[in-house]
Structure 1
């Protein structure tokens, strides 16, 4: 259950980041959610549209391609995420 929660949170990070983006970007999390997931732009997110990025995320996280994500793979993703966040803190957009 804990791993499921971690995976869900990790999969939402792009939408959360977009919701907090500067001017010209989505104004709310719901707008970011729709922009990212409503592939056919019909104003609704189908199950297939919703699952597509999660399936891609799973594939990216499953480093050894055994069809399962183990603790080491989750820790590797967490490490990459922390490194990206540290880099963003050190070099915010526009100040490089």
Structure 2
């Protein structure tokens, strides 16, 4: 997926992503924080809210063109 690999190469982007995942702000990311972040990402990608992510939904999310579903 274009864009995802670049997060690891950008120290600023990495710090932003890490900070967003570290919801309690204490430094390390717990398993619960990690799961919660990925849950939010899944829900954001699932544009039609059917509990599944299609390739089109993922591409739209990565391009920033996700549309709200029903």
Q: What TM-score, normalized to structure 2?
A: 0.59
Question: Equivalent residue for 2:60?
Answer: 76
Matches within 5 A, 1:12-91: 13=7, 19=12, 29=14, 31-80=15-64
What is the number of residues matched between the two proteins? 63
Which of these two proteins has the greater Rg computed from alpha carbons?
A: 1
Structure 2 unaligned segments of length 5 or more: list them: 66-70
RMSD, aligned α-carbons: 3.2
Q: Which runs of 4+ in 1 moved over 4 A?
A: 15-18
Pick 1 or 2: higher relative contact order, CA cutoff 8 A, min separation 6.
2
Gaps of 5+ in 1: 1-5, 21-28, 82-96
Contact 2:44 2:61 in 1 (8 A): no
Larger % of helix: which?
1
- For 1:45 and 1:73, locate their aligned partners in 2 and report how far apart those are by CA, in whole Å: 27
